[in-house]
């Protein structure tokens, strides 16, 4: 079992045994921590493991928050579906090797929510459309990443709605602080959310997705994602080595 799978399995187990609040607290406590073993790791390898571990903690914490909400609101959420780690090809680019992995996606009749999950320690600023600038460490363009995800997802599922509606969201689960310095229009386009407000702002408009067909397609995408995962990993490594 890899790092990501082990982290998710443990947090889900804690959630089922002890509840949401304990699972979130454990998530905060283990961010960035690694148990020392007799195996010597290079600095690069240790950084890679910590990054993957923290990212998985963020995604799984979001997953269990949504699971708890759905459990407490069964009627409202009876057609909701959470997908984690969808790997997508773009059907409009049939001759391309391009693939992208979505952190977490929430499918509902009213809107499809595409979450970009981050766990960057330390002080951060969010500028432009959604660029995360870290005081210490690498920065990233979360807006660009999420926009690619939404576009690729749309090209896979657009036939299941006459007027498809999506919302991008940036979920931060970290020990650091963040200052959102963006214009309001970009805050609305990519809302920055944390444990405290991630359940705010779900669409109350009309149903726009035909859920039976959409969820059937999503199940097929989930099955394909498992087959594509090792191929996608090689693809990402090749991109990083260029």
pLDDT one-digit tens code per residue, 82-137: 999 999 999 999 889 999 999 999 999 999 999 999 999 899 999 999 999 998 87
Band of pLDDT at residue 241, cut at 50, 70 and 90: confident
Portion of the chain with pLDDT greater than 90, in percent: 78
Pairing of strands 124-127, 112-118: unpaired
Q: Phi/psi of residue 83, each to 5°?
A: -125, 130
* CA distances from residue 238 to 60, 232, 242 in whole angstroms, order as listed: 27, 10, 6
pLDDT value, residue 36: 45
Q: Which long-range contacts (CB under 8 A, 24 or more apart) does 28-37 make?
A: 28/173, 28/175, 30/57, 31/57, 31/119, 31/121, 31/173, 31/174, 31/175, 32/121, 32/175
Pairing of strands 87-89, 99-101: antiparallel
The residue with tokens 């939404």 is 150
pLDDT in tens, 15-27: 999 999 999 999 9
Pairing of strands 81-84, 104-107: antiparallel
Band of pLDDT at residue 44, cut at 50, 70 and 90: low
pLDDT value, residue 136: 82
Name the token pair of 4.
Answer: 């990501």
Cα separation, 67 vs 75, in Å, equals: 14
CB-neighbour burial class of residue 214 (10 A; exposed 0-12, middle 13-18, buried 19+): buried
pLDDT in tens, 142-190: 999 999 999 999 999 999 999 999 999 999 999 989 999 999 999 999 9
Q: Which long-range contacts (CB under 8 A, 24 or more apart) does 10-19 make?
A: 11/57, 11/60, 11/61, 11/64, 12/60, 12/63, 12/64, 15/64, 15/67, 15/68
pLDDT value, residue 235: 83
Cα separation, 110 vs 67, in Å, equals: 18
| Among 67, 85, 79, 75, CA closest to 198 | 67
Band of pLDDT at residue 34, cut at 50, 70 and 90: low
Cα separation, 5 vs 53, in Å, equals: 9
Name the token pair of 206.
Answer: 């009309």
């Amino acid at each position: 079992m890899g790092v990501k799978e082990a982290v998710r399995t443990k947090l889900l187990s804690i959630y089922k045994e002890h509840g949401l609040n304990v699972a979130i607290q454990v998530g905060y406590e283990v961010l960035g921590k690694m148990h020392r073993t007799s195996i010597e790791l290079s600095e690069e390898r240790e950084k890679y493991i910590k990054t993957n571990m923290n990212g998985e903690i963020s995604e799984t914490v979001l997953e269990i928050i949504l699971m708890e909400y759905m459990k407490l609101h069964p009627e409202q959420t009876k057609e909701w579906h959470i997908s984690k780690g969808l790997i997508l090809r773009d059907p409009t680019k049939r001759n391309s090797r391009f693939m992208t992995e979505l952190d977490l996606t929430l499918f509902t009749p009213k809107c499809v929510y595409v979450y970009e999950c981050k766990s960057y320690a330390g002080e951060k600023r969010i500028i432009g459309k959604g660029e995360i600038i870290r005081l210490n460490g690498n920065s990233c363009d979360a807006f660009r990443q999420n926009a690619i995800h939404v576009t690729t997802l749309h090209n896979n599922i657009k036939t299941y709605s006459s007027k498809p509606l999506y919302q991008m969201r940036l979920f931060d689960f970290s020990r650091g602080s963040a200052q959102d310095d963006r214009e309001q229009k970009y805050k609305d386009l990519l809302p920055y959310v944390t444990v405290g407000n991630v359940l705010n702002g779900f669409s109350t408009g009309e149903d726009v997705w035909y859920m039976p067909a959409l969820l059937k397609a999503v199940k097929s995408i989930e099955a394909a994602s498992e087959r594509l995962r090792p191929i996608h990993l090689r693809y990402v490594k090749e991109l990083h080595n260029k």
